[in-house]
Amino acid sequence: MTQRKTFLKVLAAMGSFVLFCAPSLAQHESLAPPVGELPLDELRTFADVFNQIRLGYVEEVDDSTLLEYAIRGMLTGLDPHSVYLTRDAFEDLQTSTSGEFSGLGLEVNMESGYLKVIAPIDGSPAADAGIQSGDVILKLDSVPIKGLSLNKAVEKMRGPKGSEIVVTIGRSGEPAPFDLTLTRDTIRVASVRERWLEPGFGYVRISQFQKTTGQDVRNSVEKLQEDQELKGLVLDLRNNPGGVLGASVDVAGLFMEGGTVVYTEGRLDNSARDYDATSTDLLDGAPIVVLINGGSASASEIVAGALQDHSRAIIMGTRSFGKGSVQTVLPISESRAVKLTTALYFTPNGRSIQAEGIQPDVLVDRARVETFDESGRISEKDLDGHLDNDDAQEAIDAEASRGLIRSDNQLYEALTLLKGLNILGPRRTPELPAGHQTAAAATSTPGA
């Protein structure tokens, strides 16, 4: 009789949950599909387990808490991106897309019970401390991550500005985990910045896709164009964890003459959507090289995939992260919501990004490159009475190139390719076979 009462109580609670959710879901374009018959045998099993826990667990847990745990468990078992959002977590989600929050500045994902770093945010305490894409966070203030939910782990990393936290890192190639003491700060994510690499060749870095990123990229490109003609552009999406879908569509559209940027497919009727470019090419066909790596995810992959499929840019670097799923936030009350994976992204040519990522046209691993010491060789300028060259700009450019190849060999390769395309002309980006690899990449040491 007790089990029957518990079973009825659980069913009543679930029924109330469905009825309570219905108005909220209706406000979101009828996202819920028709509900079929409830699996009564499985619900009886659930009710039995629920009753055993509430009667026999070493500490008393109220029914509402147990039901909340059950909801969390259902979502956790689906995929890493479907989560139950409390008020604080919901506010954090909104904050991250607005570009300002207090914490360490990390984009993370839960993998095998541990936090894996997708990418540090530029200029954040995490980036300044040297945390890298692919690092695994094992402990926070000596508390093991194993067993914590993603929300709880992120909550522990957030905190007041100026407060410290000890992060225990596991890194491939390191003999043992090591500790880093980080000071939390207000993370103001300037999602876009620009500069000149050399006269005529510009550089735009997008660190995260926020609501205004499309307009910010337009402003950056126009700022460069006001200074001088753009012969080519490097668009740097490395370690960009993604963000707002609409912003990625806006950015890709800035460099396209119309056409599909990305489309989505899912079980819900309104999850099948096409997203098209609505602007015209800001660069008027000038060549583009897009840099990606294993920290480039989601919206970054949308931009890279669209420009690659439209043969508008050459993609360079290493394979991207492969986060090709769409999450929809479904409010279930005034203070709680569910972030549920509802669709998958596809590039204009129909390639799924999920778990595959974007394969670059030109493979270039990040490497430590040292120039060969030729100080012992004699050149014309070493001869007595040689004629001077008043134009020193070539020497200045050569020295800048040597500095760039030592500090960022991938960016150096991108600039070199842009210069070659500009010499060959006309102003268009040629198609390269996927998987093409430069000699520099083939002889470098991956991951050094």
The 3-class secondary structure across 241-294, one letter per residue, is CCECHHHHHHHHHCCCCCCEEEEEECCCHHHCEEEECCCCCCCCCCCEEEEECC
Catalytic residue among 185, 309, 361, 365: 309
Q: Are residues 398 and 436 in the same domain?
A: yes
**Of 219, 439, 438, 222, which is closest to residue 314 (Cα–Cα)?**
438
Are 404 and 364 contacting, i.e. CB atoms less than 8 angstroms apart? no
Task: Output 356 or 123, whichever has higher pLDDT.
Answer: 356
- Assigned domain for 349 exists: yes
Task: Read off the pLDDT of residues 166-195 as tens digits, 9 standing for 90 and up.
Answer: 999 999 889 999 999 999 998 776 789 999
- Assigned domain for 82 exists: no
Which range among 34-43, 236-245, 375-384, 405-414 shows the weakest confidence by mean pLDDT?
A: 375-384
Distance (Å, whole) CA 357 – CA 304: 10
Which of 188, 210, 233 finishes a domain?
188
Q: Are residues 210 and 110 in the same domain?
A: no
323 given a catalytic annotation: yes
Are 75 and 86 contacting, i.e. CB atoms less than 8 angstroms apart? no
Catalytic residue among 135, 185, 296, 323: 323
Q: Are residues 307 and 210 in the same domain?
A: yes
Distance (Å, whole) CA 7 – CA 1: 10
Q: Are residues 355 and 232 in the same domain?
A: yes
Q: Are residues 210 and 197 in the same domain?
A: yes
63 given a catalytic annotation: no
Q: Are residues 274 and 216 in the same domain?
A: yes
- Assigned domain for 85 exists: no
Q: Are residues 12 and 138 in the same domain?
A: no
Q: Are residues 224 and 372 in the same domain?
A: yes
Catalytic residue among 96, 124, 296, 298: 298
Residue 436 binned pLDDT confidence (cut-offs 50, 70, 90): very low
Are 374 and 408 contacting, i.e. CB atoms less than 8 angstroms apart? no
Which range among 116-120, 140-144, 228-232 shows the weakest confidence by mean pLDDT?
A: 116-120
Q: Are residues 182 and 302 in the same domain?
A: no
Q: Are residues 306 and 385 in the same domain?
A: yes
Q: Is the dihedral of CA 221, 224, 225, 226 positive or negative?
A: positive
Q: Are residues 315 and 219 in the same domain?
A: yes
- Residue range of the domain that includes 261: 189-448
* Long-range CB contact pairs, 3-10, < 8 A, 24+: 3/47, 3/48, 3/51, 6/47, 6/50, 6/51, 6/54, 7/43, 7/44, 7/47, 7/48, 7/51, 9/63, 10/43, 10/46, 10/47, 10/50, 10/67
* pLDDT value at 385 more than 60: yes
What lies within 8 Å, CB to CB, of 406 at 6+ separation is: 368, 369, 370, 371
- Assigned domain for 83 exists: no
* pLDDT value at 377 more than 70: no
Tally of domains in the chain: 3
Which of 188, 221, 255 finishes a domain?
188
Q: Are residues 183 and 201 in the same domain?
A: no
